Amino acid sequence: MTHEATLPRYRVAVSVQIHPVPGLPEITPGDDLAAMILDAARAADTPIIDGDIVVVTSKIVSKAEGRTVELDDITPGAFASEWSQRWEKDPRVVEVVLAESARVVRQLGPVLITETHHGFICANSGVDQSSSGAHGRLVLLPVDPDASARTIRAGFAAAGVSAAVIISDTFGRPWREGQTDIAIGVAGMAPMRSYIGEVDPHGHEFRVQELCVVDEVAAAAELVKGNTSRIPVGVVRGVEHVVDDSATMAPVLRDTSRDLFR
């Protein structure tokens, strides 16, 4: 294209493909996710290649890392017990949700919106009571999803594949019904696409200053993954991105001082 040189950096004008990675077995602690994902993608005739962005549902990461708790091992405190009774919740689940939170952002009726120790704001600290592979077991978010992503990326690299990795989860949001998948961990790519300093053809600065491309990629991957844990990985191909070996989600987490809704 002849106007290529005038396009802002990171411009993309090619098609994007998103491939599901089916066929992964039930994940257990210690599993080598990178190797399993590479094998499953190869078996599905869509091997992962250099430049791909591999989006991994946090739940299988948590299972591989042993981030589950048995409800029988939990003794709820007074706060969890009292509130649970009032709203017919399991006090042991509430106890775990509170333990996984740094701060309660909203507690209204049966709804508990918390800020996790990572800095994510979501319902129930992202604690998942469903699809845990057993009744009475909770799946927690990974302790450090950026580190989880780096481990998987390193596993790909050891097999000769240079790919970025996003750990995704399904969050609600204010103002809008329905949930969407967003990024909670990243490795190997800048989380933002910046237009700061760019001008449009008329000399105006762009209204959009920074796009959170990792959240858009996570949402895109959900379109092939679904939420059944049967297809927990999507491979996004063709999205131009800035390779960054030290990338983390930190730039995405808005500081409290800049937040009007916390």
Residues 37-76 that bind a second copy (CB under 8 A): 46
Taking CB under 8 A as the criterion, the residue among 30, 75, 207, 257 binding a second copy is 207
Strands 101-108 and 193-194: what pairing? unpaired
* Residues between 184 and 203 with contacts to a second copy, criterion CB under 8 A: 191-192, 195, 200-203
Taking CB under 8 A as the criterion, the residue among 2, 5, 15, 88 binding a second copy is 15
- Residue 246's contacts (CB-CB under 8 Å, 6 or more residues apart) are none
Burial class (CB in 10 A: 0-12, 13-18, 19+), 105: middle
Angle at 127 (CA atoms; ends 188, 253), nearest 5 degrees: 40
Nearer to a second copy, 1 or 78 (CB): 1
Nearer to a second copy, 7 or 143 (CB): 7
Residue 67 C-beta: closest distance to a second copy, Å: 15
Nearer to a second copy, 152 or 236 (CB): 236
Taking CB under 8 A as the criterion, the residue among 68, 81, 162, 180 binding a second copy is 180
**Contact 213/194 with Cβ under 8 angstroms?**
no
Stretch that binds a second copy, among 28-36, 86-94, 141-149, 180-188 (CB under 8 A): 180-188
Nearer to a second copy, 157 or 212 (CB): 212
- Residue 258's contacts (CB-CB under 8 Å, 6 or more residues apart) are none
* Residues between 103 and 162 with contacts to a second copy, criterion CB under 8 A: 106, 108, 111, 113, 120-121, 128-135
**Contact 54/37 with Cβ under 8 angstroms?**
yes
* Residues between 214 and 243 with contacts to a second copy, criterion CB under 8 A: 215-217, 219-220, 222-224, 226-231, 236, 239
> Could you give the CA distance from residue 194 to residue 128 in angstroms, rounded to a whole number?
34
**Residue 178 identity (one-letter amino acid):** G
Strands 137-139 and 193-194: what pairing? unpaired
**Residue 79 identity (one-letter amino acid):** F
Nearer to a second copy, 129 or 157 (CB): 129
* Residues between 74 and 93 with contacts to a second copy, criterion CB under 8 A: none
Nearest to 174 by CA among 89, 126, 105, 220: 105
**Contact 130/179 with Cβ under 8 angstroms?**
no
Residue 154 C-beta: closest distance to a second copy, Å: 25
Residue 28 C-beta: closest distance to a second copy, Å: 15
Does residue 261 touch a second copy according to CB under 8 A?
Answer: yes
